[in-house]
Structure 1
């Protein structure tokens, strides 16, 4: 007899709410009632749903009943005024991003915050927002693309080869990468991240394992990219002992793909059910870190971060091997993530949605656009920014406005003038849609020191379309 297999939509079809009870119920039924038919299992689950109190003492079904017996939460009031916070580069941050940050600073769990110079409007917390809260985690303050990440490899190939053998670099860039929503890799890669026990311990993740395995080592849409370019090391005291000068570099930007998006969507719904907030801040609903929901999300978030890191490492490994190169140095960092940190003598959960960790000595990469340089930086540990810096230049116009403002002819001419070859991409990612990276860097001089720069030369992106920063 085949073992019982249930799906979330099976439970939702009989009335189960979109909450952790679904993963708990699937786990209980598949473990303790695995020889039931699907109809019998759903009939039993329906009985528990109709009268959970009658099953509260049951050894196994009581775990499901416990999740169903909850008091209806009442709306949580906001603080009367926003707590003070530092804004870097306020002169080029739009009003909607400032309003979002002001609302975030009125959450009763908020302790501290900061707004980076690349900030612009997002869902809930603005992109470029940094928020430190007490004993809580906010899924939408982490972001949809959990663990979105920069990864820069500095290689031993002479930089002159980039122009001399441009066709080979472009050919391998196309052959060794895959872009777009839902896109799988041509053959499945092995990686320890797929053996993470969270895939078995959390019902939601159990049903996402196959998607994660298929998409491992691919990139998303929107502003995600993989590109060859020129790395210039300017700091003679750099951490890798490299001589100041110009090197060949491989830079990528992408995150946790469908895995992260599903985690973000699921736990945001859960947070909104258990944490009722005024309409203006509904996307900033939080999960208590002492709750099962909070611990479960934290585990899932960290898995998504490890998965995002693995994506980059596979892409870089393939391209480095294809070009016969040797890795000299690597710099990488997350954004769209939350960390447990101490600030002002208090333990906080620090959310960096589109912001780079910049604790003292921490290395990171802050990209510009497809025609402008990015910068390798070393954090200065500036407390007023909660040890953070921008995650890029930041958008100065929406994707729809960019497609209405620029033409392919204009973008093609700019790319030729800058000596950049673009594969894929769309007008939504036109360089003019972004702020001036040099102005952004000038606005955050107290936050980071510049170690070097990266200038794109051959850029690979998805075709134009929506994406999450």
Structure 2
């Protein structure tokens, strides 16, 4: 960890100066508390540095939350060893692709079996709240259980002891972007109205 200023710390070993400057500017905002932290994957963003932790006190920054709400990475050690994998690993890849659609969901033709219980749960919650998610996205069910597009991936890896790990980087499939854009608009209106409700400005 490197302390770049009193309000900016970094865990990134490789980082470009534009990213540091963007984070340094953000860290000077009075409601950053106690400091802004750059993670190993930190890189330049539109409104805030991607790959950073931006804690605030008494303020909410929708642009800092970003549009990849629900995007994340995880590595899970399985009970398997390299010797449990077939010599031709293509079959493993194809089985993963069959179980998890490798897109943001727009190309999916059906809800995958792994997503069916979650879809049913969300439908019940929406009905109880008299909310229709299809008003916002008609094919929302097809997005659940998909990997996401772009730089998202599933990887089967081996460690030094030949243990099998599953490594996942999943995306928000556009849902995060819609949530973020809504709240960014609300924040802009509040700023325009001096913090008062838009109905009173």
Q: TM-score range by the shorter chain?
A: 0.7 to 0.9
CA-based RMSD: 3.2
Matches within 5 A, 1:125-274: 125-162=48-85, 164-183=87-106, 185-188=108-111, 189-191=116-118, 192-197=121-126, 200=129, 207-208=135-136, 210-232=138-160, 245-274=161-190
> Aligned with 1:103: secondary structure?
helix
Change (3 A) 1:127 1:201: farther
**Cα pair 2:7 2:28 within 8 Å, conserved:** no
Output aligned runs, 1:301-316, within 5 Å.
Answer: none
- Tell whether 2:34 aligns with 1:118: no
Distance change in 2, residues 1:185/1:215 (3 Å): same
- Could you tell me how far apart the structure 2 residues matched to 1:88 and 1:166 are? 38
Change (3 A) 1:185 1:199: farther
- Report the TM-score when normalising by structure 1: 0.35
Aligned residues between the structures: 185
Structure 1 residue 171: Cα displacement: 1.9
Alpha-carbon distance in structure 2 between the residues aligned to 1:220 and 1:100: 27
Structure-2 separation of matches of 1:258 and 1:195 = 22
Tell me the alpha carbon deviations over residues 110-167 of structure 1, each in whole angstroms, 9 at most, x when there is no partner: 2232223432101211112221111322122112110212233433344124351413
| Unmatched 5+ stretches in structure 2 | none
Give 1:224 deviation, angstroms.
0.4
- Distance 1:87-1:200 versus aligned 2 partners, 3 A rule: same
Contact 1:229 1:249 in 2 (8 A): yes
3-state DSSP class of the match of 1:110? coil
Unaligned runs of 5+ in 1: 1-82, 233-244, 277-286, 292-469
Q: Residues 90 and 248 from structure 1, CA distance in 2 versus in 1: closer, same or farther, beyond 3 angstroms? A: closer
Displacement of 1:262: 0.9
Q: For 2:124 and 2:61, how far apart are their aligned partners in 1?
A: 26
Match of 2:191 among 275, 286, 306: 275
In 2, Cα distance between equivalents of 1:122 and 1:130: 13
Distance 1:274 1:137 in 2: 12
1:104 to 19, 26, 40: 26
1:199 is displaced (CA, Å) by: 9.0
Q: Is the 8 A contact 2:11 2:37 kept in 1?
A: no
Distance 1:91 1:221, change over 3 A: same
In 1, the alpha carbon distance for the partners of 2:72 and 2:134 equals: 24
Report the counterpart of residue 27 of structure 1 in structure 2. none
Distance 1:168 1:208, change over 3 A: same
Match of 1:164, SS state, is coil
Contact 1:151/1:251 (CA < 8 Å) preserved in 2?
yes
